[in-house]
Structure formats: structure tokens, C-alpha cells
């Protein structure tokens, strides 16, 4: 029988793979940002899973909280950059934005 530890690691691996596929295949900037968020969430899930599996310390939960704070800050900055790119180039496609004009 599969225990909860392996199930959580499997869910984390699936989240990471889906996030990586979204980053590599999507052309829309918001979809790329969603892929990065999935990757960060899979890392946070790994930290919490390994923290729970070990002697019960709270280091994994602390790292997960830090990752959530980092993801929120990254989303705010990335959305501001995407809005500026959309205003400048009138497109949210990351392939069309190949140069930055000052």
C-alpha cells in the first residue's frame, strides 16, 4: 500500500512537470507566470512533505511560508512588467517581445 509520503511526492512531481510544461510551451505571459507559480507550489509541497516525514520540525513549514511570500512578490512584480509590456507592444505574447525600447 502506498503511504501518504509517496502520494504527496507524486503530487509534487506532477505539479512540477505541469508547471515546467506551461513555462516551456505557452506563449502568453500570464500562462508562463502560472507555470512558475506551479513550480514554486511544488517546491513548497516538497518542503512540507519532508518536514512532516522527518522528526516533526517546523523548518519545512517555515520554508513553505517563505516560498508563498516570494511567489506573491514575484507575481506582483511580474504582472507589473507584463502590463508595461502589453502597454508598449500591445501584445501579451512573449515571443513577439524581443527587444526593449527605452
Give the CATH number for residue 81.
1.10.287.3510
Which residues form the domain of 29? 4-89
DSSP string covering the chain: ---HHHHHHHHHHHHHHHHHHHHHH--BHHHHHHHHHHHHHHHHHHHHHHHHHTTS-SHHHHHHHHHHHHHHHHHHHHHHHHHHHHHHHS--BTTT------
Domain contains 94: no
Domain contains 74: yes
Domain contains 58: yes
* Res 1: pLDDT: 66
* Res 101: pLDDT: 60
C-alpha to C-alpha distance for 41 and 16, rounded to whole angstroms: 8
C-alpha to C-alpha distance for 35 and 42, rounded to whole angstroms: 11
* Res 43: pLDDT: 95
Domain contains 96: no
* Res 20: pLDDT: 96
The number of domains in the chain is: 1
Per-residue pLDDT of the chain (102 residues; tens, 9 = 90+): 678 999 999 999 999 999 999 999 988 888 889 999 999 999 999 999 999 888 778 888 999 999 999 999 999 998 898 888 888 878 778 777 766 665
Domain contains 47: yes
**What is the chain's mean pLDDT, rounded?**
88
Domain contains 97: no
* Res 65: pLDDT: 94
Domain contains 99: no
CA distances, 5 to each of 25, 79, 82 (Å): 30, 35, 38
48-64 core/surface letters (b: 16 or more CB in 10 A; e: else): bbbbeeeeeeeebeebb
Domain contains 100: no
Q: What is the pTM of this model?
A: 0.84
Amino acid at each position: 500500500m502506498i503511504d501518504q509520503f509517496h502520494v504527496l511526492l507524486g503530487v509534487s512531481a506532477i505539479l512540477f512537470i505541469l508547471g515546467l510544461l506551461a513555462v516551456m510551451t505557452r506563449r502568453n505571459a500570464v500562462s508562463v507566470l502560472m507555470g512558475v507559480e506551479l513550480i514554486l507550489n511544488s517546491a513548497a509541497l516538497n518542503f512540507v512533505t519532508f518536514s512532516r516525514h522527518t522528526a516533526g520540525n517546523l523548518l519545512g513549514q517555515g520554508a513553505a511560508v517563505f516560498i508563498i511570500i516570494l511567489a506573491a512578490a514575484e507575481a506582483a512584480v511580474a504582472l507589473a512588467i507584463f502590463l508595461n509590456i502589453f502597454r508598449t507592444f500591445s501584445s501579451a505574447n512573449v515571443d513577439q517581445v524581443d527587444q526593449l525600447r527605452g
